Structure 1
Amino acid sequence: PLFYLITAASLKYLLLLIKGWFALMKAQTGQQRWQRYTFRQAAMVFFGVLLLVTLPRLWKDLLIAWRTPEPPYNLAFQYVAEHRQSDDAVLTMNTSAAALYLDRVDYFAIQNNAGQFLLDYPEQPVDRWLGAPWLGSASAFNSVLNTGEAWFVVDTQRLTTFGFYLGDWLATLDTQMEQVWAQDGALVYRTRANRNPIPTAPETIINAQLGDAIRLDGYALDAEQSPPQLTLFWTALNAIESDYTIFIHLRDEANNTLAQWDRQPLDGAYPTGQWLPGETVIDPVSLILPQNLPPGECHLALGMYDLNTLERLPVAEDASGENAALIPLLKGE
């Protein structure tokens, strides 16, 4: 288990440091007695302080390892081996277990706090154990799922407790994959057979800036689905302090509101206050339309507001007059 390895490595380097100090003291035998005595006393004080600083952390790691036994990844990858096709992609954070029990790993799948596990190669960061390419965002995760069948092997602690996966990744996992196996905390997900793939890039570019921290890059609209699927592409330009609510209004030619949807991004799974600067958030929305819509062209007006004050974020170069981005719809949409 990872915690045992970390603790053992820490003790190893501590012992090597002590050994080096004793070798240095031995080299001082040609000096005066009082000099050797002073050097040894200083060394004892140094190592005493070092132990006081290091041992509590090592003890904490040992307690975590004792209380959190490693899930049975051997059984999880055995299940994958028995059911996967040869060209199915394998995604996991535990790449060493995948190599050992499955002899296959395609991506090192971890979204957040990944730096400690990565080697930063110029072409693409890879994991430290097998050199598997890093899959580090929900959009990249979604892109892999759109290319073919895939398996995602993880455990409950890494998925929900340690902060390795954020709300947009979890939402993609929930809509695009299904849990097919679980035992003692180990989890296996497989691509849903009847899923509606989420677009990975906007079909129409808007680049509407809301406030100083959020940009609506664009959207994709699939009117063939029932209900129609609108996918919004947001980018966090800076850190966002509040959790904003999205409004989407369906308007007729006279700008009358025919339907309205108010929601937080990803139905509350990934509030704006958790978005990381520079991150693109893919946000699918099901537009449940009212029956007997009147004939004529219509459009969507959308933006964000603070639920506590109902104040909308200002839209740069606003053409709507109400701090909203406009999406025209064809008559048949």
Structure 2
Amino acid sequence: MSVHSKFIRRNTLSRWALGILLIIFVVWEANHLEGFSWGYDEGLYLIVARLVRSGYTLYKEVSHSQGPLFIYSVVSAFELFGMSVAAGRFVIVLYAAIGLLAVALTAQHLNGWASGLSAAVLLMLAPEFFRLSRAVMPDVPVSTMATLAIMSSLRYLRTGHRKWLLFAGFAFGIGCLFKLIIIPAFLPIGLAVLCFHPSTERLRAWRKLASDTALVLGAALIPGLICLLVYGWQPLYDHLVAPTVRARAAFPLDTAANARWIGEYLLDNAGLTILAIWGALLLLPRRSASVAVIASWGAVVLLALVFQTPLFFHHMGTLLFPMSVLGGCVAGDLEERLRSPWKPITWRKGIILLIGLGAVAGYVFTLPTTLKDYRTLLVAPTTSRQTDATRFISTFTWPDDWIVSDDPSVAFRADRNVPPPLTDPSIRVIAAGCLTDEHLIASTEEYQPQAVVYLSGRFTLLPRYLEWVREHYRLAKSYDETAQIYYPRKITPPLPIQHPQQATLGQGIRFLGYDLHHSPFKPGGQVYLTLYWQALDKIDDDYTVFTHLLDSEGRLQAQKDNPPVHGLLPTSAWEVGEIIQDRYIIPLPPDLPPGDYQIEVGMYQLETGQRLEVRGEPEGEGDRILLGEVEVSD
């Protein structure tokens, strides 16, 4: 077999190996989508995508401080697979697979297929990549776009084909619509253009240099210009630029602290760090344009983190991509040296070989710790407060209710919406002054949410809003002073009652009327009913409310009985003159015949079954109150 045939066969096998590796990665990740904690950031992106999927306009109605393309990626996943956490996470897995491919092709360009395959494996085994590749957050997608841009610029250097330059600029521009943290990656792309036109040539062909520069800049600007045309400059400035500028003023830059944190992160990934450092040292003597591009990529990512404010842990994941490329080059170098053992080895080559083997041994030594981290990431460390709050919201609120929360993941998992202007109550946004007490109060008044949930302590930064909440909502559950659920909203005149109706129950309870929601009603559906009560006197006993659906012959067809406000507000706790909003969901049987039905309500003592006497309008005589008719249709 000729050398060329062996080369072709080797490349083919390597491509197949990479394809199999990517398939294994996607299948593995798709089967472990729940192995991620309920983080604030993930909840934020999920709830924003939920609102956009529901028809609300990004930036004009929905508050969001990052680019739009990531949100629409999640919305597309919702369209295809349903509105769930797993659907959102799966689209990140696909971005991560593309990122692995881009890393492999970048390393392959530098040092052959052994480097490419090794780089993909190193990135895939990094615990932080495993964590972020299943989180609905833009960090992995934006790093994927940056790596695609770098890979394309290397292809441009090798072939001179301007299509690769066009693709590099476009991938960078797309990345900017995910997250602006990609901006420093433009330096390596620009360096590739300059390196393709050396100084002697640049004096003679400055027009081509200017043309290539304009090409990459134009390709990078196209996505942004389209975004500007769609949303307008004012909403983009208010939501993207202003919060970033104000946040930098609110969080003073501390490069020393950032550097220490980055150092700790590199030590936590010591095996990969050692390989990346040695890979960089192996490449530097080549003094090629490709090496300059890769070196500048790693350098700008590192410097961007040092000067990032505020710096969060998930930002560190951007380091993994260039580190994996450099680390993969070590494997490629070793493979090349060990492939020809019969060649004489000088003392210099021998030392390089031993250091390379030592770097690999160091990485292998850290693998048990890495695999241990993997096992801990397979099960989401969700707090009991989050699960309990999610269960509470799902039980006590209705599907179309608004919920205000400083933990958006709870609202999303409870299948409830957050008011569009209040999707991002992050510390960064609050500290920057983009979300104030007045803004929160005004939006809460406008959207009339049924519950206010704060679990993460972010709302404690807005004390006037919390004081307002305590005045207008009832405290339903308290975990501690920084984590509480307020439900329901206190009702004050004038009453927003659809169907006013007066009746008196017993000696101290007045029925004021009711609301009916979500008509028309169908078999197997639900009747959403709101009752309004008022305490005329102090009530000593606790009563249970009954809501019955009767057919034309007075037979019971459906019912829902429970103490007022799901037991959160028993009648003995009612204050004199207080108005109680009491909501019920009456499930309709699937085989319920179409027709007109009557709703009757009232109260009784659970221990004896004795109903309270009703006095008032004709519909309220005896021991029940008859409400309006309900039409059930097919």
For the pair shown, the structure with the greater C-alpha radius of gyration is 2
Q: TM-score, with normalisation over the residues of structure 2?
A: 0.25
Larger relative strand fraction: 1
Larger relative helix fraction: 2
